[in-house]
């Protein structure tokens, strides 16, 4: 019998060429996997999108505005810089908004302004419209954002630097500005289901905190130092020398404040007098040239006055910005100057209220020119003695 021999044939060892082919084939897959993992890590550690941060994590703070998490926000350009940070023009969906960015060190101001905006009854045509608030980032890199309506004209200060006013424009800005401050100062018992609105003192009223709409309607903003006076509740932080030094009333400059509601409202009225003077100084209604825009007291003590300089001229010398002779020859401007003097009276108790200033300006405009619709409403109300329905702006 013949035995059959079995031959085992070994496969040849893989060549270097085969390893190269496998390597080049797997490399794109490996890189793609790493890219996907990196993208997933970045997605999970990204800054939260607009509105997704819980701004209510502090006890007792109002809830965030609804639907903000559905609206992406893109910062476009810085429009202003101030004591508490900067203001950006931003885009939210198809709407431009203003984003006021506070550093974490100014959390108290951000929180206070948000709380004031969230007060019942704070929706008014002459108060800045609040949209929402959020926190961005973590730890020391955290930023605090406050989102409001945006107006391209910017602040009254900026507008007066580049523009002079006609008599109707002056009256319109002055009246709507006084209207906003009067509403802010007012106690409103019922606000369309929102509850009572307390009196609020602004405490940093100045032309830079007055915003202008396209039609030159004035809107009051920046409530970071504002104080609410709710019945039965302490008003919160009411320590004395706060606000912008140039606009401080004499009693604030000398540290002699009566810590009562009316005293704080009268401090706002002194500042209103200075802002009205700024308006008059840029009005072309009088015969004579209109000077370049200057801040109150700038001609006397420059752009950066010290506290001591202001104490000297405002408290001790009782100086105020001057009135040009040509203003006093214009019937409307003359009465406006008289109103201004009663706003910045050295005796705080002698100052006009914001509501009285609004009525005065309406009367001045009516006597010095054709009546407007607002003044016609006032005239009809007084003549017919019939209660008219309130304007939609006074919520």
Cβ burial, residue 24 (10 Å; 0-12/13-18/19+): exposed
The Cα 259–Cα 240 span in angstroms is 8
Task: Give the DSSP letter string of 347-392.
Answer: SGGGSPPHHHHHHHHHHHHHHHS---HHHHHHHHHHHH---PPPPT
CA–CA distances in Å: residue 193 to residues 121, 200, 395:
9, 19, 10
Token duo for residue 349: 């108790």
Where on the phi/psi map is residue 239: left (φ > 0), alpha (ψ -120 to 50), or beta? beta
Pairing of strands 95-103, 85-92: antiparallel
Contact status, residue 109 vs residue 117, Cβ threshold 8 Å: no
CB contact at 8 A, 367 and 330? no
Pair 334, 283: CB distance under 8 Å: no
Question: Exactly one of 125, 204, 222, 374 is catalytic; which is it?
Answer: 204
Active site residue 222: no
Q: Are 268 and 186 in contact (CB under 8 A)?
A: no
Instruction: Using the structure block, give the residue that is written with the tokens 């897959």.
Output: 29
Q: Which residues contact 314 (CB under 8 A, 6 or more apart)?
A: 248, 250, 253, 297, 320
Active site residues: 204
């Amino acid at each position: 019998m013949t035995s059959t021999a079995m031959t085992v044939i070994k496969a040849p060892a893989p060549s270097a060429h085969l390893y190269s082919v496998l390597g080049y084939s797997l490399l794109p897959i490996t890189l793609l996997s790493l890219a996907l993992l990196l993208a997933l890590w970045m997605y999970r550690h990204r800054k939260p999108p607009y509105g997704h941060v819980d701004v209510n994590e502090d006890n007792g703070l109002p809830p965030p505005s609804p639907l903000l998490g559905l609206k992406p926000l893109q910062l476009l350009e810085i429009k202003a810089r101030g004591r508490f940070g900067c203001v950006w023009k931003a885009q939210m969906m198809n709407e431009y908004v203003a984003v006021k960015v506070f550093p974490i060190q100014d959390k108290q101001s951000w929180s206070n302004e948000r709380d004031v905006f969230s007060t019942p009854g704070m929706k008014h045509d002459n108060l800045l419209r609040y949209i929402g608030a959020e926190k961005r980032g973590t730890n020391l890199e955290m930023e605090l954002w406050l989102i409001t309506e945006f107006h391209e004209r910017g602040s009254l200060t900026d507008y007066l630097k580049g523009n002079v006013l006609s008599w109707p424009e002056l009256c319109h800005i002055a009246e709507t500005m006084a209207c906003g401050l009067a509403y802010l100062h007012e106690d409103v018992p019922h606000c369309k289901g929102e509850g009572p609105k307390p009196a609020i003192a602004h405490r940093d009223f100045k032309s830079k905190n007055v915003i202008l709409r396209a039609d030159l309607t004035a809107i009051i903003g920046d409530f970071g130092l504002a104080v609410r006076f709710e019945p039965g509740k302490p008003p919160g932080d009411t320590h004395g020398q706060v606000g912008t030094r140039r606009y401080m009333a004499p009693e604030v400059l000398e540290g002699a404040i009566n810590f009562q509601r009316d005293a704080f409202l009268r401090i706002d009225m002194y500042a209103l007098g200075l802002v009205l003077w700024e308006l008059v100084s840029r009005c072309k209604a009088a015969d004579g040239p209109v000077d370049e825009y200057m801040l109150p007291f700038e001609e006397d003590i420059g752009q950066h006055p010290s506290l001591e300089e202001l104490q000297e001229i405002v408290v001790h010398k009782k100086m105020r910005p001057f009135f040009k002779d040509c203003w006093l020859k214009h019937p409307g401007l003359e009465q406006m100057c008289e109103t201004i003097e009663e706003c910045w009276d050295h005796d705080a108790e002698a100052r006009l209220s914001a509501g009285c200033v609004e009525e005065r300006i309406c009367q001045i405009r009516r006597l010095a020119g054709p009546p407007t619709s607002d003044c016609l409403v006032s005239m009809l109300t007084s003549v017919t003695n019939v209660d008219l329905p309130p304007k939609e702006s006074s919520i």
